[in-house]
Amino acid sequence: MGGKAKRGERKIKIIQNGPYVVCGDLPLDKAIIVAGKDGEPIKWAKGEKCPSNGEYALCRCGHSNNKPYCDASHAREAFEGTEVASRKTHAEQAYRLSGPGVDLLDAQPLCAAGRFCHRAGSVWTLVEKSGDPKNRKIAIQEACDCPSGRLVAVDKKSGKCIEPKLKPSISLIEDPPARVSGPIWVKGGVPIESADGGRYEVRNRATLCRCGKSGNKPFCDGTHISVGFNDGDKRIGNVKDAKRK
């Protein structure tokens, strides 16, 4: 079940077939995906804060009646939460797309279907045309808006990754354009500890599954959209009437 957290240590411990235990008074809030006129995500809106004092457990199976917190439904539902995600680093999983103005690292296995990469013809097209300063700017913004960090822009001159400035915190993603609740967004380099005690690469951005259906546990793979996951947020509405793409 992983090592005991040191007092004040900020980390997320994954419990075998159970919840995510958050240690170290990490702030918890909601992050809302906002779409543009074409229906594609264009920016993030800050949602309300959630109670997060001390240590707390977040539901991982998707069945809790007290979402986002665990209520032991994983035991009643016999949740199978075996972790299958690769322990490779982002750099080891990513391929590099080189553009005239900016490069892009793309680790496709980490995709959480945030869809910010679809705007303005797609981030990949924008990178290929990044000799144009406008295209370069939008490409970088799309990469930085990717919650899972699948996409990372790389400065051509310095060779350094371009990352958004994120404080250690956790957000619950709500996706009104797709009419679903999304994954747990881990920000600012918070360590994620496996149920076996090992640790995944510490990254500025990561997304953890909270619908219980991901094929890349513990990380989100976008399955929350196909299963219509709804944590009860009023912005989502009735997913049964949602039009799937």
Render pLDDT for 114-165 as a digit per residue (tens, 0 to 9): 999 999 999 999 999 999 999 999 999 999 999 999 999 999 999 999 999 9
| Dihedral sign, Cα of residue 63, residue 64, residue 70, residue 76 | negative
Check residue 103 and give its pLDDT.
98
Domain extents for the chain? Answer: 11-85+168-236, 90-162
Q: How many CA atoms are closer than 13 Å to the CA of 29, on its beta-carbon side?
A: 13
CA distance 60 to 19: 5
Rounded to the nearest 5 degrees, what angle is found at the Cα of 116, between the Cα atoms of 123 and 19?
130
Whether the per-residue pLDDT at 4 is higher than 80: the answer is: no
Considering only CA atoms, which of 204, 223, 225 is closest in space to residue 215? Answer: 223
The whole-model pTM stands at 0.93
pLDDT tens-digit map of 168-210: 999 999 999 999 999 999 999 999 999 999 999 999 999 999 9
Considering only CA atoms, which of 21, 12, 9, 47 is closest in space to residue 236? Answer: 47
Percent of the chain with pLDDT over 90: 90
Using alpha carbons, list the distances in angstroms from residue 209 to 8, 53, 148, 149. Answer: 25, 22, 11, 14
Local structure of residue 218 (DSSP, 8 states) = T
Average pLDDT of the chain is 94
pLDDT tens-digit map of 20-41: 999 999 999 999 999 999 999 9
Check residue 85 and give its pLDDT.
97
Check residue 7 and give its pLDDT.
61
Check residue 215 and give its pLDDT.
98
pLDDT band at 67 (very low <50, low <70, confident <90, very high): very high
